Structure 1
Amino acid sequence: MNALFRSHASDGMRFLVVYIAEAHARDQWPMGNIISCVNQPITLEQRLENARECQKYCEFEMPMLVDNMDNTFHLTYGSWPFRFYVIQNGKLILKAEPDEETFSYHIDELDQWIDNFCQSRYPTV
């Protein structure tokens, strides 16, 4: 993710991580000690602390926002469990979905989409 963020910094794209509710919290839907390492926060301060730990652990270089305790971002954008979005002028123009079999993303495809999008907005002469 950091490489993708750095490679498009000059394109005027702003990358953000939005930390939402825990998909596999230790106390709700555990999936083993590695995946389910924290409980579902019940206060905003707990969610903020989990977000800080996540940002540190994942070494995210881009800014991180935190969804509120009403889960407004998640409910608006259907971000469970992990999604990539492109929002332009307040409109959702891309909601990347993970592979149906592996539940992972092909970052190179997202990178190519961003390249194509930027070229269509600012064609080189």
Structure 2
Amino acid sequence: MANLGKFRKLTAEYQGVADFVLVYISEAHPTDGWAIDGNVFQVSNHVSMKEREAAARQMSAMEPQDCPVLLDKLDDAANKAFAALPERLYIVNGGNVVYKGGQGPFRYKLQEVEDWLKAYKEKEE
């Protein structure tokens, strides 16, 4: 959640260069699991898609985004395929992964994504 404000700024600046999406996966710090004291985002483990959707809506209300928010299925297929927990950035170009960021929050580098997008934009101009 801490990086969503920065992500929104990035999407606003590069919306003409790329399409952005967020994929809401299983909750990293559920209240009934590995909870963090003082976490403002209070969500339990999702047991239904309705719960996952409600959690995504709550996240979006706290930090609105200008891109679609997609939901991973309860089997966490996208999370597993992209090793996304708790958060990770990818750039896909022409159906190929051209950037795989480090696992967040400590190796989540929005600046690397911005650098890639800037170079791509300059190359296309």
Query: Normalised by the shorter chain, which TM-score bucket?
Result: 0.7 to 0.9
Runs of at least 5 residues in structure 1 that lack an aligned partner in the other structure: none
Alpha-carbon spacing, 1:2–1:97, altered in 2? closer, same or farther (3 Å): same
Give every structure 1 segment of 4 or more consecutive aligned residues whose post-TM-superposition deviation is greater than 4 Å.
none
Q: Give the corresponding residue for 1:28.
A: 33
TM-score when normalising by structure 2 = 0.85
User: Does residue 1:42 correspond to 2:35, yes or no?
Assistant: no
Cα shift at 1:35: 5.4
Report the equivalent of 2:98. 93
Q: Distance in 1 between matches of 2:32 and 2:96?
A: 35
> Could you tell which deviates more after superposition, 74-83 or 108-117?
108-117
In the alignment, which residue of structure 1 is the partner of 2:106? 103
- Asked if structure 2 preserves the Cα contact closer than 8 Å seen for 1:30 and 1:36, the reply is no
CA contact (8 A) 1:16 1:65 kept: yes
Distance 1:84 1:21 in 2: 16
Change (3 A) 1:104 1:35: farther
What is the rounded CA distance, in whole Å, between the counterparts of 1:45 and 1:33 in structure 2? 25
Structure 2 segments unaligned to the other structure (5+ residues)? 1-6
2:118 partner amino acid = D
Corresponding residue to 1:14 among 6, 10, 19? 19
Q: How much does 1:119 deviate?
A: 2.7
Q: What does residue 4 of structure 2 align with?
A: none
Partners of 2:24 and 2:72 within 8 A in 1 = yes
Per-residue deviation, 1:34: 1.3
Residues paired across the two proteins, number: 119
Pick the aligned partner of 2:71 from 58, 66, 82: 66
What TM-score do you get using the length of structure 1 for normalisation?
0.85
